[in-house]
Amino acid sequence: MQKLNESLWVFEGSNVSFFTMPFSTRMVVVQLADGKLWVHSPIKLTDALLQEIQQLGEVGYLIAPNHLHHLFIDQWQKAFPDALTYGTEEVAKKRSDLKFDGVLDSSQTENLPWHKELDQLLFTGSRAMEECVFFHKASNTLIVTDLVENFRPDFFKPWQRVIAKGVGILHPNGKMPIDWRLSFLFSKAEARQHIQTILSWKPETLIMAHGVIVEENASEFLKRSFAWLTPIL
């Protein structure tokens, strides 16, 4: 557990395999003003992790920000039956076996229980995937899952490193994976608007689910990472 702010923690999970490539897992927990915990992209729930979470407070909300980040939601729902689960429409359709209490999008966000502490935006424009991204106002932190990936080169075996470099997800030049980028071929203007909104939040820190956290100058990192949308501004 890494504490990045008085109300924000990062938890590292085990690796999962995706198309023969290892992917690290990472969860972000925010303690809201009412004391409830907002849990973004829950990782595998071990006994040790359960103890740490219980020491922080009551789990109020479970967040599945895109249709790839759902593997461990069921474990958390069973452990915290009173928690409300929110996901994008895509993940709700994919995991019809899970109960979702609300949909993540960019409309009527003022009705969400965390809206005073977290801004959010549904990053659309691609048929491949939509992702809901969040901005923690108190710490100026942008929270994403796959919108940006930024792996250390030594995380991979040599042959995997070659693939990761081609995909564009190696630190310090991490970005959106190339397959997702290509799916914006005819909707770059829409994606550009989303990035402009994100940059207007002026994030200083960038936490992604996979790779090295950007702990300063996150806005500049994002401008470089999304240069494929040029011009951004």
Ordered by where they begin, the domains of the chain are: 2-226 (3.60.15.10)
Q: Report pTM.
A: 0.95
Cis peptide bond upstream of 172, omega within 30: yes
Task: Tell me how many degrees the CA angle 79-81-83 measures, rounded to the nearest 5.
Answer: 105
pLDDT of 179-213, one tens digit each?
999 999 999 999 999 999 999 999 999 999 999 99
CA distance 120 to 198: 9
Per the CB < 8 A criterion, the answer to whether 58 and 34 are in contact is no
Which structure tokens are listed for 195? 């990035």
pLDDT of 145-173, one tens digit each?
999 999 999 998 999 899 999 999 999 99
CA distance 232 to 228: 9
pLDDT of 82-129, one tens digit each?
999 999 999 999 999 999 999 998 887 888 999 999 999 999 999 899
- 174 pLDDT more than 90: yes
